[in-house]
Chain A
Amino acid sequence: MPTAATGSVSPASTRVATPARVKKVAIVLATGSYQREAPTTVLRLVEKLLQRGVDVNVWAFEEAVTLTNRDQIDHNEPGSLQKLLGEKHPNVGRFIDQLIRAGLHGAKLDWVSCILCVQERGVEKHQMGGAIIGTLGDLWKFVKAADRVIGIPTYR
């Protein structure tokens, strides 16, 4: 990363010592539904990581805690598009549920929602089964245990 003194990137003089293959990934996500594509990208990536036998811990905070709101409702797609898209527009919680269930028989996904954020948004009692309410202590443990940590930035 550039430094104030040099303004240049420090070279990596030696190869970073890392495991030959990543076994555990932590993903930090702050984006809710319908804000940006980040939740969709995370779900796509999580699916592929689980297929590769990688355990994934997702720590959701800020608006991302609404992704696992069990009271999301599937609305009908417009009639003219139903042949193309199906009858209903599925909510993101259903996809997260499927990924958590996929972990029953293979690499595991733990999805944790920040307790402060669920309380501030009034969704603490609305988290779907499989989603766990946790603390920054859980995030710290995820980061400490992970071979890779991916922080998805929030921006407008």
Chain B
Amino acid sequence: MARYLIVDSRDLTEYTGAGFIQKAAGQLQGAGNEVTLFLIENGVIAARKGSDVGGKLAALAQGGVRIVVDDVSCSARGISQFSDGVVSSNIDHLADLIVEGSDKVFWY
């Protein structure tokens, strides 16, 4: 099985392609791969506690997708509380994932 890193920089509530990203993450995980969804820039907006997409992210996390958010992006947007299953992270973790923690990287 492969380790997928999906970096989402776009607001998942704004772009229709966002649905595909969530679907792809879920299906890759369901197929037995290890999937990390790294939310950065406007991608962290969906992770705000209480957001419409937050429920979908929580479901993905429950299914095994690891969902993390960039701390600087969150601070810049005043986001301090996250949907269930979403964990705070940072650019060091993103670099580690690219260098050692993944086999394939997609940037959306």
Which residues of A are in contact with B by a Cβ distance under 8 Å?
A: 1-2, 8-9, 11-12, 14-16, 18, 20-22, 25, 36-38, 41, 44-45, 48-49, 51-52, 54, 148-153, 155
6 A-B residue pairs with Cβ-Cβ distance under 8 Å, sorted by A, are: A1-B24, A11-B31, A16-B104, A48-B95, A49-B98, A153-B107
Given A1-B24, A18-B103, A48-B92, 9 more A-B residue pairs with CB atoms under 8 Å apart are A8-B27, A11-B33, A15-B2, A16-B2, A16-B104, A44-B91, A49-B95, A52-B95, A153-B107
Closest to A21 in B: B100
The residues of A that contact B9 with a CB separation of less than 8 Å are: 37-38, 41, 152
Query: Which of A8, A48, A49, A151 interacts with B107 by CB under 8 Å?
Result: A151
Query: A50's closest neighbor in chain B, by CB?
Result: B95
Of chain A, the residue at the smallest CB distance from B100 is A21
Does B28 lie at the interface of the complex (its beta carbon under 8 Å from any beta carbon of A)? yes
Interchain CB contact under 8 A, B91 and A12: no
Contact of A45 among B10, B73, B95, B100 (CB under 8 A): B95
Q: Which residues of B contact A49 (CB under 8 A)?
A: 95, 98-99
- What chain A residues lie within 8 Å of B96 (beta carbons)? 52
Other-chain contact of A148, B92, B98, B108 (Cβ < 8 Å): B98
Which secondary structure dominates where chain A touches chain B? loop
- In-complex Cβ contact of A22 among B73, B91, B98, B107 (8 A): B98
- Contact check, B28 vs A9: say whether CB atoms are below 8 A apart: yes
Contact B41 A12 (CB under 8 A): no
B31 pairs with A15, CB closer than 8 A: no
B100 touches A41 (CB 8 A): no
Q: How far is the CA of A54 from the CA of B42 in the complex (A)?
A: 27
When the two chains form their complex, are residues B41 and A41 in contact, meaning their CB atoms are under 8 A apart? Answer: yes
- Quote the shortest CB–CB distance from A149 to chain B (angstroms): 8
Docked complex Cα distance between A41 and B72 (Å): 10
